[in-house]
Structure 1
Amino acid sequence: MAESSYGPASFWTQADALLRKNLTFQKRNIKTNVRLISFPFFLCLLLLLIQVLVNSELNKPKYKCGCTCIDPNKTGTCQKVCGIQYSTLDQAASCAIPSPQEWPVLLQVPAPQYRAVRTDLIPFTDLPNDSCRLTGSCPATVLLTGSNRSLAENLAGNFFTGVVSLNSSDMLNSLADTLLGSSSVTDGDNFLEPAFFSDLPLYNIQPQCTQNSSFSVPIQILTNTVQQDVKCVQGLNLWRNSSSEINDELYKGYRKGNPERKINEIIAAYDFLDSNVNNFNVIIWYNSTYKNDTGNVPMGLVRVPRSVNVASNAFLQFLRGTGTKILFEFVKEMPKRESKLKLDFSSLLGALFFTWVILQLFPVILTSLVYEKQQRLRIMMKMHRLGDGPYWMISYFYFLSMSLIYMLCFVIFGSLIGKSESPELICSTFLSNPLVSNLDLSLLTGLKFFTSNDYSIQFVYFFVYINLQTSLAFLAASVFANIKTASVIGHICVFGSGLLGVALFQSFLQDTSFPRIWIVVLELFPGFSLYRVLYEFAYYAFTGDRMGTNGMRWKDLNDGTNGMIVVLIIMFVEWLLVLPVAYYFDQVVSAGSGVQKHPLFFLPKFQKKKLPSFRKPSMQRQGSKVFVQMEKPDVSQEAEKVEQLLLEHSTSHAILCDNVKKVYPAKDGNPEKFAVRGLSLALPRGECFGMLGPNGAGKTSFINMMIGLIKPTSGTALVQGLDIRTDMDKIYTNMGVCPQHDLLWESLTGREHLLFYGRLKNLKGSALTQAVEESLRNVNLFHGGVADKKAGKYSGGMKRRLSVAISLIGDPKVVYMDEPSTGLDPASRNNLWNVVKRAKKDRAIILTTHSMEEAEVLCDRLGIFVDGSLQCIGNPKQLKARYGGSYVFTITTSNQEEEVVEVMVRHISPNAAKIYHLSGTQKFELPKQEVKIADVFHAVEDAKSKFTIQAWGLADTTLEDVFIKVARGAQTFDELL
């Protein structure tokens, strides 16, 4: 195989060329890039402004610690005093609490409708009948087990022995000696016990309820008096033979995750194990159903201490008598300083909004990749020697770098806004608006999402994810061919992932009964794995802001409840798997990147196919018709020549086409379409071969097969000795293409296009500069600053000239030009012809055109292509001699003399054929063997004396006449069949 005079470009040379082109392209699109990077900045500002508005609302007197005016000396001048004692319940949350309220210790008692009763699921008959639920009289059950049943039942007999003794002066403390419970949901702190601020009653648990065991008491809380109902509930102790029976009963009656919703809840369960007089050993089951663990708030407190105290007192009373017990008078929260109510809005909504921000890169990368395929720019680069390896390496790291810059700006913007000093500066413009000018800037807490969590953790997770996201974009790009479809699907993935994350996935994360293994399965979807990361970052930032602690640190990854290690492993493994799968699909799925390869192309036995032997076509079937191929002698001779050259393994010819066929399958009820019907052609170096034919004849399909855009149905072609079916990557190193439609980057200039393709052809330094300038001069794009104008501002003719210059730069040995002079003015077309004629030296060129003049000037040989078949082949003179053995006589007279003219022509040539007739103008074909030119002149001069001849002419047959005659003949033959 002969190489270009510059030799094939190395891997790194190709990579350098593509990198330079991409950087130039980004420089041209700087405004778009600025808008993209500014998107997270404005989002952060939006979140900050919302946060300011919310915090301003929380800073109103309604939520500030209450104050009053006191005049202790009655001087008429009052002193403002603030404190929790002067506050409403809404205000109390912001007050200083140096001495928190003492609260009675409560049991978690199931609500009446959920207490344990007999059901079909539970085999025990010692539970009460479910009719008690109708009256609300079901007892509250405690389950017992252990190695010593008598001891366990003896201890259980001491559980519910509390006697109600109320002290009206200190009602709360007097309730501390009473065994009370509540079914209310707990909060994350105990400054205000929810049991006293709900409509639910307190439950007084007794062995038997008497008439006076239910009552109502006034409770003084801060400045408010609450009337609290206390209802008696019978405590029921039930023995079970083993802890496994208890586990089974608790599981079947648990509220969350119960498929049949037959809820049977208990107060607690005790396994006294090997307890005896000398040893007290107990395991306690507790009910967490009522624990508040929804949303991003800390989990509620669990009412377990009283359950432990009950068992401990029962054992002490068993040993020392009923008068002995451990006093458990109250519980109280830690003291707190006065605080302002504030809300880190970014942490609350960060998982959703920031998921959208990061995922927004996915459709950006996807559409960029699909754009290159849809516009055939990818295959154009490939046809000019850009290998898949450099393309993938540079494109991947190019988009990865874009993503890194985007993410760095995202984190930097959020962090700057999140610092305490920055919000006032950044929001000063927004706060100057009259609608928000009265907001207190001290309310700005910043975006703690970024500043609270360790930056190194954020970098690791974001870096791994953007690698995964870039790989996914390459994978998706391999199956899309339309940029609009890719954009729509990409944005659906963005918004769908965020909305499903917040509406579905987050609820699974917060539901402690949802199996963790299914969480891991859901995280296999990349959108959910990203949402999980951002959710955990937001949770740690919110908790840290509320509790005054740091956000996520490396040590927190050891906490199995946040799942961060598992998510990191999932994203990393998926990245390593998706990238090679994306490359595989890019090779085997043809969507604008070239001819698809065999699905097992990576195996040696499938990398090379044996070239089939020459088979002379005789019959071809299309639908129900049978076409008998009536080959002309010149076409048959060309096929025989190809057969001989293949047998001799000749390398003197740059192109050998062996019975190439292209059949498009049947579609939408239409029969299969034969675009190319067994074309055979031998093209030596130094020859320009012209393909002529009407629209739809199959010329472009043939060119597309030769340049690797489509794959032949059967047959093959050798280009520089390489098979177009298996060796296109090598063929590209010596090929130039001027496609039918200009494949250009509208943001790049003509010079930049040629520099890029010149580098791909291994041109460097001064040789590259000289080749580019020479190419620009040859196609008349050098002067007047045209070379440095963006290609998007070129006229159609200028784009065609640039496409021709691209096809010829770098000395390719085989060049395909599909209608190169379309849209050119006469001067530019003539200049282009000179360029092509000079380029023919030591180079094979296949050119398609509709201009007969162009074909005569440029082409050494011509082939007329009709309905997928080559009808004739030869140089222009041979074709005109073979198909044009006649003169064309044209004469224009009045309509009345038409018959007289026809009689005159028949006298000159009896076999003359009329080929045109319109309004007195007639054309006749005069066989050359029957007529002499002098006879025509004499006849016309003689006729002028008899009638008026307005115009006349005699011309030899043109190539256009030959083309029309051959095309019409072939089409007529097809119609007859």
Structure 2
Amino acid sequence: MQEEKPRKQSPCICLKYCLKKHINEISALTRKNILIFSRNKYITFLLLICPLFICAYLHQIQIIVDQYTASLANPHPKEISISQIPKCYGDDCITLGIGLTGGPTEWTDYVIDHIAKSSGLKKNKDIKVLTTQDPLSFIKYIKENMNTTGAGLILCSNYMDFPDNNYLKRIHCDDTKGQVYLIVYNFTEVSKDIFDPNLPNPLEISALSVKLAVDSAIASYHARKKGLKDIFFEAVIQSYPLPENRFLKGYDAVSMTGPLYFFIPPMFVFGLLISEIVKEKELKLRNGLSVIGVSATAFWVSWFIVAFFFSFMTTNSLILSGYLFQFDLFLKTNYLVLLILFLTYSLTMMILGFMISTLINSVKLSYTVSYTFLLGGLVLQNFFTSPTLMKLFHFEGLPDWMYWVKIAFSYYPPFSFSKIFSDIAAKAGSLPNYHERKWESGPGYFWDDFFTERSGWVFGNRYVVPSSFDTLMDLLWNCFILIVFTWYFDHIVEGNRGRSSPPWFIFTYEYWGIKRKNPLTEEIELRNIPASNLVKNDNTEITEGIKLDKIWKKYPRAKTCAVKPLSLIIEKEECVSIIGHNGAGKTTLLSMLTGLLSPSGGTAYVSGYDINYELGKVHQTIGYCPQFNILWDEMTGTEHLWLFAKLRNIPLEIRQELVDQKLQEVNLGKAGNKTVGTYSGGMKRRLSVAISSIGNPSVIFMDEPTTGMDPITRRQVWRLIQNMKKDRVIILTTHSMEEAEILSDRIVVMVDGEIKCSGPSLYLKNHYGEGYKVELIDNNPKTLWEHLSLIIPSLKLVDISGSSLFISIPRTEPKIAQMFFETVEELKIQDWGLKNSSLEEVFMKVTGSLRDL
């Protein structure tokens, strides 16, 4: 036997029970969330290794910068020989083109021969005299034959005054005063310096080689005249040594771009959590949890635990990746400091996501919001990564507008994160020293630095940057503000908890637990019985039925009421079916009774509790099978029943037995370990029916419970519902007249938000039906009808089809029925059948649909 509970329990017992209930709900919902993420293992795995990819990317950037910096340095330039003119290879390629200002002379022939000999070139092939007229004709030839001549040489074999133009400077060419020559080369050849591609190479090797060869030939020419041997000059050239670029040496990719890239992992978790929470809201899953009494506190705490888990894992993945790639900023900073920074920032973003999820109702919109925050955040992070910008925001004597901009940014979590990161980078990473024009590596970031301000001068202005601890307090303050907004919007935005509260709900008596007297609860014993005790004794009587007291609902902007004032009493152990056309108000009525919608007026009492003031107690006593399935595709049928059994405080020792029993009752024993995403529509409805009865609720609401079921399964569920009627009230809506007739003790017909009639099936048929229906089979049904209508004028013709005649006999006139049957026997009709009015006919008549046909 169940232990009798006192009418009034002490505050300590109530507090202990509430605490146990919340812990149980948090545990169940957290397990549910973990199961969902574990089934989405690829997304979960990607979240955890995302920091590794980011650190690998930063490491690669660091390698590229270091290699480029090293490539710019050349402490030991190579010696390059210019003793020979580089040979030009290719078809019709001339290594050295020669132009003469006149005809050939002795010294020009000697110079050409000497150049060919010293450089190993062939005359008339590698070396060609292109023109013997004037320099302009030589230049014209070069222009008309692009990319065919490596270098050009103009020898003054006759006097000529060079004109002043773009190619030749104004000089005098007079071979009587010595050997004069002019070298022509392509001076637009660019250097290898990618930062200044327009800078010509200062060392034109081909031009220097030609000059050395010509000078060697001229010197040899004069030596031969004096009887000396030929002279061959040899020379090498060498560039100046280039030191490492001090503007790039010591560049730290992590210190400079860390806030930009480390901003990304929490944003992935941010977007995933928003989409999952909004998904539960869009699919009405959270509403289903609210109906059975799951508190909003348990719902949010369970999601916070999941957010903390992912934040903690991604944070540690990021820190370990930083250690793996040997980033100075991680190696020189205390692990606890890094953990506090990344974890606090990540959790702040998660709570921001919670707040956003209370404002939107569409998964598609949640993706848009997530992408907007990610892309917009990346744009802002490009500015926040600058250490100088952080100093500018903390100049002494800031303009008023700049001060308010800083205040606004302080409520944006990534800004505070970037500021603390720049504090750490200033001590543990490498940052540019603009005064000395070089990069400086910090000594390391220690605990003392966490509480120390930074100050200095930039551009002649003094700055004082608050300590990292102060900024961390800003982040925690942001957390608190976001939690308050989440709590507030969760109350006032419709669709979060089911019924919404007014914006001023905090000032209402109900919010603070000040309730008006309930006339029904004064007459019955209010037992605060945990759901864990309900399964121990099926005979526990905790229900006093349902009473509707002029309850009505009108939606905003609607012209008429969806549900007009209704008054109705439903006793315990009674199954009531509500039938009506689409839009009649059936689902709206159930939504008000279960707390998903607030009544516009009136009230109702469920198990003796007022739905307006004692909704929490109502939720503890009801079960609900809504039109939408309260199911998660990633979980199995067994896991669903286990979840709701735990939420209903079913004792652990009988929980598995109860789960197996419910699966067998709805014929899902073999599919219990399959994920619900693989179920058919009928299987999902059966599982929803099984869930509604867990915890032995005193009232069960079912909104079209057998939709989508095959005939055999439908009848199995009907037997289950019939067995569930003992000691409880069942209210179901349906479009199936057969279902309503078989299951119901009473049928309620709703039309346009009103109850048109109510009573047992037989009563409705007798009261609203057209009487008995008779089918007569005859070869000439028209003649038969004319004969019968003459004898019994009160008969009504329903239809004549083929050889069948359908007639209605008024139930209110028994003598007419007797006369009719006597007449039929005398006429010796082939065959005839009798039946009562159907429930469908009653429904058509009551709703007026028969007149519309």
TM-score, scaled to structure 2: 0.68
Shift of 1:768: 1.1
> In structure 2, what is the Cα distance between the partners aligned to 1:740 and 1:966?
25
Distance, in Å, in 2 between the alignment partners of 1:647 and 1:809 is 29
CA contact (8 A) 1:689 1:861 kept: yes
Alignment partner, residue 693 of structure 1: 580
SS of equivalent to 2:63: helix
In 1, Cα distance between the equivalents of 2:65 and 2:819? Answer: 104
Aligned to 2:38: 27
Aligned residue for 2:839? 959
Secondary structure of the equivalent of 1:468?
Answer: helix
The residue aligned with 1:882 is 767
Partner of 1:381: 289
The 3 A distance-change label for structure 1 pair 892 and 714 is: farther
Q: Which of the numbers 70, 80, 105 marks the counterpart of 1:59?
A: 70
Amino acid of the structure 2 residue aligned with 1:958: S
Deviations 1:21-58 (A, max 9, x none): 23333332222211222222223223333433343333
Match of 2:28 among 4, 13, 17: 17
Alpha-carbon separation, structure 1, partners of 2:832 and 2:383: 85
Q: Which whole-Å CA distance do the structure 2 matches of 1:648 and 1:753 have between them?
A: 37
- Pair 610,585 (structure 1): closer, same or farther in 2 beyond 3 Å: same
Q: 2 CA distance for matches of 1:574 and 1:59?
A: 45
Residue identity matched to 1:45: A
Matched, 1:361 2:372: no
Match of 1:573 among 472, 477, 501: 477
What's the offset of the Cα at 1:918?
A: 6.6
What is the rounded CA distance, in whole Å, between the counterparts of 2:346 and 2:826 in structure 1?
Answer: 87
Q: Deviations over 1:124-156 (max 9, x none)?
A: xxxxxxxxxxxxxxxxxxxxxxxxxxxxxxxxx
For the structure 1 residues 706 and 340, does the alpha-carbon distance in structure 2 shift closer, same or farther, using more than 3 Å as the test?
closer
Question: What's the CA shift for 1:858?
Answer: 1.2
Q: Does 1:836 align with 2:721?
A: yes
Post-superposition Cα deviations, 1:466-522, rounded to whole Å, max 9, x if no partner, equal 232222222222222212212211221222122023248958436476657343442
* 1:832-860 CA-partner distances (Å, limit 9, x unpaired): 11111111111011111112221122111
User: What code does the residue aligned with 1:877 have?
Assistant: L
For residue 500 of structure 1, what is the aligned residue in structure 2?
Answer: 380
Give the partner amino acid of 2:555.
Answer: Y
Structure 1, residues 636-659: CA drift from partner, whole Å, max 9, x if none?
Answer: xxxxxxxx9899789973211111
Q: Counterpart of 1:42?
A: 53
Relative to structure 1, the CA distance from residue 943 to residue 696 in structure 2 (aligned partners, 3 Å threshold; closer, same or farther) is farther
User: Counterpart of 1:509 in structure 2: which amino acid?
Assistant: M
- The reply on whether 1:872 has 2:757 as its aligned counterpart is yes
Q: What residue in structure 1 maps to residue 664 of structure 2?
A: 777
- Structure 1 residue 593 and structure 2 residue 497: aligned? yes
How many residues get paired? 641
For residue 733 of structure 2, what is the aligned residue in structure 1? 848
Q: Which amino acid aligns with 1:882?
A: H
Question: For 1:3 and 1:473, how far apart are their aligned partners in 2?
Answer: 45
Q: Corresponding residue for 2:440?
A: 547
Q: CA separation in 2, counterparts of 1:394 and 1:4?
A: 33
Note if 1:351 corresponds to 2:259.
yes
CA distance in 1, matches of 2:44, 2:660: 31
Q: How does 1:603-642 map to 2 (within 5 A)?
A: 603=507, 605-607=509-511
- Counterparts of 1:918 and 1:673 in 2: how far apart (Å)? 43
The 1:581–1:910 alpha-carbon spacing in structure 2 relative to 1, beyond 3 Å, is same
Higher alpha-carbon deviation: 347-356 or 753-762: 347-356
Q: TM-score, normalised by structure 1?
A: 0.60
| SS of residue paired to 1:888 | strand
Residue aligning to 1:559: 453
8 Å contact from structure 2 (residues 623, 701) kept in 1: yes
The amino acid across from 1:497 in the alignment is G
- 1:533 matched to 2:420? The reply is yes
- Provide the residue aligned with 2:556 in structure 1: 665
Question: 8 Å contact 1:735–1:815 — kept in the other structure?
Answer: yes
- Matches of 2:486 and 2:644, distance apart in 1: 26
Alignment map for 1:396-415 (pairs within 5 Å): 396-415=304-323
Unaligned residue ranges in structure 2 (runs of 5+): 6-16, 82-237, 433-438, 455-463, 527-542
The answer for the alignment partner of 1:903 in structure 2 is 786
1:303-452 matched pairs, under 5 angstroms: 341=249, 343-416=251-324, 418-419=325-326, 447-452=327-332
Shift of 1:893: 7.9
The aligned counterpart of 2:708 is 823
For structure 1, which runs of at least 5 residues remain unmatched after alignment? 72-221, 226-334, 420-446, 614-643, 946-950
1:462 aligns to what? 342
In structure 2, the residue matched to 1:912 is 795
Cα RMSD, aligned residues only? 3.7
Of 531, 541, 544, 1:653 maps to 544
Shift of 1:904: 4.4
* Deviation of 1:814 (Å): 0.9
Contact kept, 8 Å, 1:374 with 1:592, in 2: the verdict is no
CA shift at 1:765, angstroms?
Answer: 2.1
SS in 2 for 1:547: strand
* Higher mean C-alpha deviation, range 380-389 or range 901-910: 901-910
Cα displacement string for residues 545-602 of structure 1 (whole angstroms, at most 9, x for unaligned residues):
9434334333444133444344212111121232233223212322232212344444
- Within the candidate set 757, 765, 779, 2:644 is matched to 757
- Once residues 464 and 53 of structure 1 are traced to their aligned partners in structure 2, the CA distance between those partners, rounded to angstroms, is 32
Candidates 808, 816, 831, aligned match of 1:925: 808
What secondary structure is seen at the aligned counterpart in 2 of 1:372? helix
Q: Supply the distance in 2 between the matched residues of 1:414 and 1:612 (Cα, whole angstroms).
A: 63
Seen in structure 2, the aligned counterparts of structure 1 residues 941 and 501 have a Cα distance that, compared at 3 Å, is farther
CA shift, 1:68, in A, is 4.4
Contact 2:329 2:428 survives alignment (8 Å):
yes
Match of residue 79 from structure 1:
none
Q: Residue 336 and residue 744 in structure 1: after superposition, are their counterparts in 2 closer, same or farther (change >3 A)?
A: closer
Question: Cα offset for 1:533?
Answer: 3.2
**SS of the residue aligned with 2:668?**
coil
Task: Indicate if the aligned counterparts of 2:73 and 2:245 stay in contact, CA closer than 8 A.
Answer: no
The farther-off stretch of 819-828 and 19-28 is 19-28
1:171 maps to: none
* SS of structure 2 residue aligned to 1:16: helix
* 2:564 corresponding residue in structure 1: 677
Matches within 5 A, 1:488-527: 488-503=368-383, 506=386, 508-509=389-390, 511=392, 515=399, 517=403, 518-527=405-414
Check the 8 A contact 2:250/2:440 in 1, yes or no: no
The CA distance in 1 between the partners of 2:791 and 2:59, in whole Å, is: 97
Compute the displacement of 1:378 (Å).
Answer: 1.3
Identity of aligned residues (%): 29
Asked if the contact 2:77/2:239 (under 8 Å) is kept, the reply is no
C-alpha separation in 2, matches of 1:722 and 1:468: 40
How far apart are residue 367 of structure 1 and its match? 1.8
Q: Matched residues in 1 for 2:721 and 2:264: separation?
A: 53
SS in 2 for 1:742: coil
Q: Distance in 1 between matches of 2:478 and 2:784?
A: 85
- Cα distance in 1 for partners of 2:666, 2:239 equals 93
Match of 2:141 in 1: none
